[in-house]
A and B are shown apart, each in its own frame.
Chain A
Amino acid sequence: SQTIHQWPATLVQPVGSPLSLECTVEGTSNPNLYWYRQAAGRGLQLLFYSVGIGQISSEVPQNLSASRPQDRQFILSSKKLLLSDSGFYLCAWERGGRDYEQYFGPGTRLTVT
């Protein structure tokens, strides 16, 4: 069966510090991968998606970036965090093709102080 992992689970970082969040998927190959952000009490905002290694599409211009160095690894980064980057970050994968439900990881709670 497929599983998706995210770490860390929680993170408290000062403004201006760098960020690296990691997401890995097991049990499938060549998944579509997604990063979402959920602000407190709000819906989901799609940040990035990737359909293959090294292929990243950005949905929202901001100080975040994403990379996919391996087939089942998706990384969200920032060089300098802003207060507004606080939120709950969710990674999701999708098999692609006709079976295109998205399956979500447990999330990372980021607080920027």
Chain B
Amino acid sequence: GDSVTQMEGPVTLSEEAFLTINCTYTATGYPSLFWYVQYPGEGLQLLLKATKADDKGSNKGFEATYRKETTSFHLEKGSVQVSDSAVYFCALSFYNFNKFYFGSGTKLNVKP
């Protein structure tokens, strides 16, 4: 079935370090891919998305590229800040499918 697998956390980095959070997916067909972020005690916020192969989603310095050949959508940021500390969720969905498949989340801790 359709699913999303994320790297386990927590990921602990120093401020200004480079971030990669791995996400791979299994899907029949061509899903859209998403990254959501959840700050402590809050709901999820859409961070970025990509709707077709080779698309790059970007927002707030974060980027992810939809790689169909490797079924991946890894999240990257060149220089993390303490304020980026949160849990990051990778997800997939299909047009008109009424379901999102979320990964288990990766907690990021950024130390000053």
The interface of chain A, by Cβ under 8 A from chain B, is 6, 32, 34, 42-44, 46, 49, 51, 57, 90, 92, 94, 96-98, 100-107, 109
Q: How many residues of B contact A (CB 8 A)?
A: 21
Chain A residues with CB under 8 Å of B43's CB are 6, 90, 92, 104-107
Majority secondary structure, A binding face? strand
The interface of chain B, by Cβ under 8 A from chain A, is 32, 34, 36, 41-46, 49, 89, 93, 95-96, 98-100, 102-105
Given contacts A101-B49, A104-B44, contact A46 B105 (CB under 8 A): no
A-B contact count (CB 8 A): 51
Chain B residues with CB under 8 Å of A98's CB are 95
Known: A43-B102, A96-B96, A102-B93. 7 other contacts (CB 8 A): A6-B43, A43-B104, A49-B99, A104-B43, A104-B45, A107-B42, A107-B43
Structural contact, B102 and A100, CB atoms closer than 8 A: no
Max chain B C-beta neighbours (<10 A), residue from A44, A94, A107: A44
Structural contact, B49 and A44, CB atoms closer than 8 A: no
Chain A residues with CB under 8 Å of B44's CB are 44, 90, 92, 102, 104
Alpha-carbon separation in the docked complex, A105 to B99 (Å) = 17
